[in-house]
Amino acid sequence: MTIEDIKYVLSGHYQGTPYDPYGKLGDERTRHMYRPIGINRQSQLAVLQLRPYRPQAYRAIQWMAYGSNPFNTLVPFYANVDVTPAYLADTTTRVTSENFYWENRIIAALCDGAFADTANAVERYQEKTGAMGHRMVAATDEQASRLGFDAAEFDADNADGDVEPMDPDAIVSAVRNGEVREVLAAANQTMADQLKEETDKLLDSVLYTRSMAMKNGFHMSDF
């Protein structure tokens, strides 16, 4: 099972069936008959990935998504850090595009009424940010391993399969390393900066699409 599999399932809205609220099959009755998995009032999706094939100091990754799952993206952030990037941490009571939560809520509200017209932009965003996340993890793992945090080769056929087995007290000691935490925090910040750039682009795209479809539009206004 991949992280993409999890995201797909938790974003489900009966795609390809008469029960899809965004589909063309069925009718108004069937399209609203069942509760989608990815619903409008979702606020956060978090998937904690503990990788037995990496050392304790940087094996934990928390994949994060805010807002309604059909329209958001699931991206990785290292868990063993002392600070969270402001774009994710500073969710205000005031609606603003300057934090990840509200920006995703705005995008979902815009896309909901024009699903077919905005679906390609959302899918490109999800694929690009997902690829960015995997690249970030690979590069940061390599950087952390150069600090001396490498481990024995992972044996996928071993049921235990842990490259750095430890008792709980030893795990606590292993993760309390300032040097590796700085590397992980810097990677998280870079991920957040790139994520904001791509989310801003998506907001720009879907806002333009929805604006061009407003009912008070009048093409003769150019004359």
Given this model, what pLDDT does residue 159 score? 46
* pLDDT of 158 above 80: no
What is the average per-residue pLDDT within 130-135?
Answer: 98
50-101 pLDDT, tens digit per residue, is 999 999 999 999 999 999 999 999 999 999 999 999 999 999 999 999 999 9
**pLDDT for position 46:** 96
High-pLDDT (> 90) share of the chain, % = 77
Answer yes or no: is pLDDT of 223 > 60: no
pLDDT (tens digit per residue) in 12-29 = 999 999 999 999 999 999
Q: What pLDDT, on a 0 to 100 scale, did the predictor assign at position 174?
A: 82
> What was the pLDDT predicted at 147?
85
- Geometric angle at alpha carbon 143, from 73 and 172, rounded to 5°: 85
The pLDDT > 70 percentage for the chain reads: 93
Confidence of residue 148 (pLDDT cuts 50, 70, 90): confident
Sign of the CA dihedral running 195, 98, 78, 158: negative
Read off the pLDDT of each residue in 176-197 and give the average, rounded to a whole number: 95
Domain ranges of the chain: 3-214
Q: What pLDDT, on the 0 to 100 scale, is given for residue 150?
A: 59
> Chain-wide mean pLDDT for the chain?
91
pLDDT at 153 over 80: no
Model confidence at 165, pLDDT cuts 50, 70, 90, reads confident
